[in-house]
Amino acid sequence: MVSHYLQKKVDRTTIQDEQKEYAQEVFTWLAPYLTNYCDVLRILDVGGSTGIVADTFKRNLTEMNIKANTTVIDPSPCELAIAKELGLKTIEGFAEDLDVGENCWDIVLLCQTIDHLLDAHKAVSAIRDALVENGLFFVDIVDWEYVVNKKGVEDSIKIDHPLNFTKQTVIPFLGCIGFEIVSESVLTDGHLTGFLCRKASPCKQVFSRKHAESLLSLVEKKQTIE
């Protein structure tokens, strides 16, 4: 579907090179937070595709003398086949539909995936339940406001993105489910913003009406130009 939409080949082979660079950047950012684990670090990569991110974490942690038990969840059997070749554990299915247990994982990764989910609230709530009490959750978004500003409205809408987040919408979303932000960073390509989170008490946060109005104004302005 994406290949047809973009008029270029997008599959398990074409995505790997850029994934390696992305994976190393994310690991380098998160590494200081992963050094307090004295036993096996249990990692779950949700929407982990061919396992490039999970494998990068596992190899880098091994070099740090930290043993990693890494599992990849993805709905694509073709992509999981590559992850298996890397020696990773795999689970086939959609994040929204899977029971990965309670208090089972030290860190859960949701890399370049939340925008693809059909039920983000259900999936992220399940991730929270799956984490140990001092566990970490990494998630990044395609910052829709940034992309609209840079590329315009039409090019900001992706056929495989049911959801479009901004920094101002994802933070209250995470807070309502029960996550607090430990650290955040704009990744080097500019359109991705990442958040490292810990479990917290769910906190009802109000989405900003002012932000919604500014987004609407931005869309109207860009559509006029287009």
Three-state secondary structure call for residue 134: strand
pTM for this prediction: 0.90
Beta strand 179-186 pairing with 105-110? unpaired
In what helix (H) or strand (E) does residue 76 lie, and over which residues does it extend?
A: none
Q: 179 has which bridge partners?
A: 199
Rounded Cα gap, residues 113 and 81, in angstroms: 19
Distances (CA, A) of 157 to 2, 5, 52: 12, 11, 26
pLDDT, tens only, 48-99: 999 999 999 999 999 999 999 999 999 999 999 999 999 999 999 988 887 7
Per residue in 152-203, pLDDT (tens digit) is: 998 898 888 999 999 999 999 999 999 999 999 998 777 899 999 999 999 8
CATH architecture entry for 2-225: 3-Layer(aba) Sandwich (3.40)
